[in-house]
Structure 1
Amino acid sequence: MERFFLYDEVAETKTRYVSFMGENRRFDLAILQTDRYYGKSIILDIQSNRFAIIGDDDLQTDGYLEAEFNLTSVEAEELRDFLYEAV
């Protein structure tokens, strides 16, 4: 069977690894920045094996971080505060 590629590209990325302790849990993240995804960043939560493509608009959406990273509202607020500075 022949593969049908929608795209197959190599992109330069900038990756920031950061670990911080919030009031309720530790966050170990990899933040990937690239020209793709309309200026949004790929946020990988290394501990939970979850990731999301996130920009400012996503941070302002109620319940987005809670759903994407399976967080409580308190944990999501700690992550949101950090990501506002990081992305």
Structure 2
Amino acid sequence: MDRFDNLYDVTESAQVRFLGFISENARYDFGIVFTHRFYGKPLVVCMQTGQSTILNSQDSMDSQLLRKVFRLRNDEEAEELTCFFRENLPSLLLEGNEY
């Protein structure tokens, strides 16, 4: 490819929160990057597998989405993460016109 069309090139100081917890079924380690990008939805990274997605608390209500994105073994693990993210992710989107 001779030329690239630059869509964006933004440097931002973002707040990052690292959370680790254990349940009866599994251990979880996540990094949550709070940014002004992605319409205010944080970037959630599984520190064990490197799987990531943008997610807010409403999105996290979809346990099947969580199971697919984070490659969980069963529905029980997905439900655990649904409860965890509901409490640890913002519910409202930030204002912004980044796109």
State the 1:12 CA deviation: 2.0
TM-score normalised over the length of structure 2: 0.80
**Quick one: higher RCO (CA 8 Å, sep 6+), 1 or 2?**
2
RMSD across aligned positions (CA): 1.2
CA displacement at 1:3 relative to structure 2: 2.5
Counterpart of 1:64 in structure 2 is: 65
Deviations 1:10-68 (A, max 9, x none): 12210001110011110011000011111211110011110110012311235110111
CA distance in 2, matches of 1:20, 1:39: 25
Match of 2:18 in 1: 17
What is the correspondence of 1:34-45 to structure 2 with a 5 Å cutoff?
Answer: 34-45=35-46
Instruction: Give the 4+ runs in structure 1 shifted more than 6 A.
Output: none
1:24-35 → structure 2 map (5 Å cutoff): 24-35=25-36
Task: List gaps (5 residues or longer) in structure 2.
Answer: 90-99
Counterpart residue number, 2:79: 77
- Say which structure is richer in strand: 1
The count of residues paired between Structure 1 and Structure 2 equals 87
Partner of 1:53: 54
Give the match for residue 2 of structure 1: 3
